[in-house]
Amino acid sequence: MKRVQFGRYGGPEEMSFADYTLPPLAPQRVRVRVKAAALNPLDWKVRRGDMKLVSGWKFPQGMGSDFAGVVEQIGAQVSGFQVGDEVFGTTEISRQGAFAEVIDANAKLVVRKPASLSFSEAACLPIPATTAWAAILGIADAGPGSRIFIHGCSGAVGSCAVQLALAHGAQVSGACGAASLAAVKAAGVNPALTYSDKASFAAEGLYDAVFDTLGTLTLDDGLKLLKPKGRFIDINPTPGRVLRGLVSGRYRMTFSTSGYKNLEDIARLSAEGTLHGCIGLEAPFADALSVIKAAEQGHRRLGRIVLLM
């Protein structure tokens, strides 16, 4: 089978298409024929070596996390799946490889795809929606009457956070780039501001939670927007920020992994039409290297980039 892989940590030039033979299926895994895989910033952060403490030093490594496809084989200790099931899910950082024709995935990170979702729509969900779940429902505890400010409300994580917060009755304000304003207003963000309009972020009062999906608000920026018991939530770790998250009651660092247990909930909300990923571009798998490179270099668009296998 073909996959996108890299032979050492580095820039886009380290990526290549390679033939790859999967080892015998491990007991806790399912073998999935990938139909669609969505790009996440995590994919190139891992390839650059930003997470090498987790991704390790064994090469070559496959690239890609979020996927949707069809179950081909089931590990001896896995229950709840049948060959032919349409599923979606994600990979461990230590075992990426979703940009591939076939993947062996941890069965705990895979759920059945609602029939109403296309493979592309489902592939857009895992990391963005689990991260948003961890932040908005796990930490911000969004509910009727709560006020949440989402900095970067137009991105994949941001737009899942907006949908989850609104669905749980919260009032959502946020900031995004000027080109994204119309879309986020239509999604229910009110008021929707641009990043440069910082002076107006708290014009309508303080928040129960500020979720900075971009990692560009300072601690001071965030705390100024919060009610006394409010939470400032970050998802862009640096060693200093992770440390701060351990010692500060009001500043919290969270990860997609904290939302993995909610993949079934995410599938259910998507089936109900409450939560959806946004597709920006569908590209053939054969274009993977150029598409990943362009996204990494900032040629992004509203919505996820999806590779079709």
Provide the binding-site residues for ligand NAP, judged by CB under 6 A. Answer: 40-42, 45, 127-128, 131, 152, 154-158, 176-177, 180, 213-214, 235-236, 255-256, 298, 300
Strands 86-89, 110-112: pairing is antiparallel
Tell me the closest approach of the beta carbon of residue 21 to ligand NAP, in angstroms. 31
Q: Is 100 within 8 Å of 60 (Cβ atoms)?
A: no
CB of 209 to ligand NAP, least distance (A): 16
Closest separation between CB of residue 292 and ligand NAP, Å?
Answer: 13
Cβ distance to ligand NAP smaller for residue 86 or 282: 282
Strand locations in 94-151 (E): 102-106, 110-112, 147-151
Residue 40 or 61 having the CB closest to ligand NAP? 40
243 Cβ partners below 8 Å, 6+ apart? none
Nearest distance in Å: CB 45, ligand NAP: 6
Cα-Cα-Cα-Cα torsion 121, 124, 128, 129, nearest 10 degrees, comes to 30
Which residue carries 């300072």 as its tokens? 218
Whether 148 and 211 have beta carbons less than 8 Å apart is answered as yes
User: Residue 136 Cβ, how far from ligand NAP at the closest point, in Å?
Assistant: 13
Cα dihedral: 66, 70, 72, 78 (round 10): 70
Q: 34 or 253, CB closer to ligand NAP?
A: 253
d(CA 59, CA 20): 13
**Closest alpha carbon to 127 in 257, 241, 248, 218:** 257
Nearer to ligand NAP, 17 or 255 (CB): 255
Could you give the C-alpha distances from 76 to 73, 98, 230, in angstroms and in order?
10, 22, 46
Extract the runs of DSSP E, i.e. beta strands, from 46-188: 61-62, 66-74, 86-89, 102-106, 110-112, 147-151, 171-176
Task: Rank residues 173 and 256 by Cβ distance to ligand NAP and give the closer one.
Answer: 256
φ, ψ dihedrals at 81, nearest 5°: -125, 155
Q: Tell me how many degrees the CA angle 266-160-29 measures, rounded to the nearest 5.
A: 40
Q: Please state the closest distance from residue 299 (CB atom) to ligand NAP, in A.
A: 8
Cβ of residue 79: shortest distance to ligand NAP, in angstroms?
28
Smallest gap from residue 81 Cβ to ligand NAP (A)? 25
Provide the pairing of β-strand 86-89 with 61-62: unpaired
